[in-house]
Amino acid sequence: MTGQARSEGRKILDGVRVLDFTRVLSGPYCTALIADLGADVVKVESPDGDDYRHIGPFVAGESALFATVNRGKRSIVLDLKAARSRRIALALARRADIVVENFRPGVMAKLGLGWPDLSAINPRLVYVSISGFGQTGPNTARPAYDIVVQAMSGLMSITGVPDGPPTMVGEAIGDVAAGLFAAWGCMVALFDRERTGEGRHVDVAMFDALLAMMPTPACRHLAAGEQPERVGNRHPLSAPFGVYRARDGYFTVAVLNEKLFAIFAEVVGRSELAGDPQFASDALRRANEPALAAAIEGWAGALSVAETVAALTSAGIPASPIASIAQAWASEQAEQRALSSIVTHRTMGAVRLPEQPVHFGDSPRGGRRPAPSLNEHEAEILAELDWEGSA
């Protein structure tokens, strides 16, 4: 990594070298975010390739899931149990700014590629380890899939309707949260390295990440001694704040203060609610939410979702229809924010893929390389190393 003057049109992580030993979702999601910002990410794969190469949906015979979370990277196959491959991995690590791995704790050490091994040959290296439960603690060796971590973190206990079973979130949120915090950890450690000249080991756990992603139940339990439970499509602390029914479907509304509640009462034709003692505070409105829900749905039941949302938003009250995934991605908001861009894939052709969501002033978006084919970049990566043993 070399210092660069700020210049228009430069991606913010141009010049940063990342050695990526990750597979499946948490690690590849982390390094995809970094690749979006211009870093050179070299993805090390086993001879069989990342597991996600073999999981659908498939487009033109290629995994769309692999293409999504491995966008912008280069691929080289290394059998890390073989001496030659380990030598190549060490050569790549000597010139890397960041190494990211998501093996079970201890696996990289057994291969001679752990933090002590690589920091000894590259003291400026930022080494990021992603795992289910971290490098320490009683569960460190326990296998972890997203559903397991959702269950163990308490997230499933607060997701779903009160009289129904615990419910998964509709994405592998534990993997995604760990990948997001890992990318954040990479950047913090790089910043610290610029001040100290030294790299460090960054330890990220899916379990830790999910706990950190739940500040509301954390404060309720840790500070107030409460036991959060499932509340369905309602907010656990505020009302009206949830999902309600109109004539032709569902909509959301969020009211969080007295001023908004008075306006809300006017909009639904029940101005007297603002002066009713049982709705005099947010806590009281939450305690008496069923009565509020009846008033809301009594009003909205005569209106379409579009009419309901229009009436609320025109009065300054946060509200929305329930968009599908397709509607969200097709929205003008997503388009103008450039949350996806076209990538030209060797077999899939022109395919639209997500981009990391943060905007950095004049740093450009788009212009990314597609996800690589297995071992696609071996020759050029070895040439960059001046590797004599490539034959």
| E strand or H helix that includes residue 279 | none
In the chain, the amino acid numbered 189 is A
User: Could you give the CA distance from residue 89 to residue 35 in angstroms, rounded to a whole number?
Assistant: 19
Do residues 297 and 244 make contact, with C-beta atoms less than 8 angstroms apart?
yes
Q: What is the DSSP letter of 222?
A: I
Residues 6+ apart with CB under 8 A from 309: 251, 319, 320, 321
Would you call 235 a catalytic residue per the annotation? yes
User: Could you give the CA distance from residue 236 to residue 286 in angstroms, rounded to a whole number?
Assistant: 8
Do residues 186 and 125 make contact, with C-beta atoms less than 8 angstroms apart?
no
User: Could you give the CA distance from residue 28 to residue 172 in angstroms, rounded to a whole number?
Assistant: 13
The helix-helix angle for 305-314 and 258-267 (nearest 10°) equals 130
User: Helices (DSSP H) in the chain: which residue ranges?
Assistant: 26-36, 64-69, 83-95, 107-110, 115-121, 146-152, 173-196, 206-212, 215-218, 258-267, 282-287, 289-300, 305-314, 325-330, 332-336, 378-384
Do residues 239 and 232 make contact, with C-beta atoms less than 8 angstroms apart?
no
Angle at 34 between CA 52 and CA 68, to 5 degrees: 30
The one catalytic residue in 235, 345, 359, 377 is: 235
Phi, psi of 159 (to 5 degrees): -115, 125
Residues with catalytic roles: 235
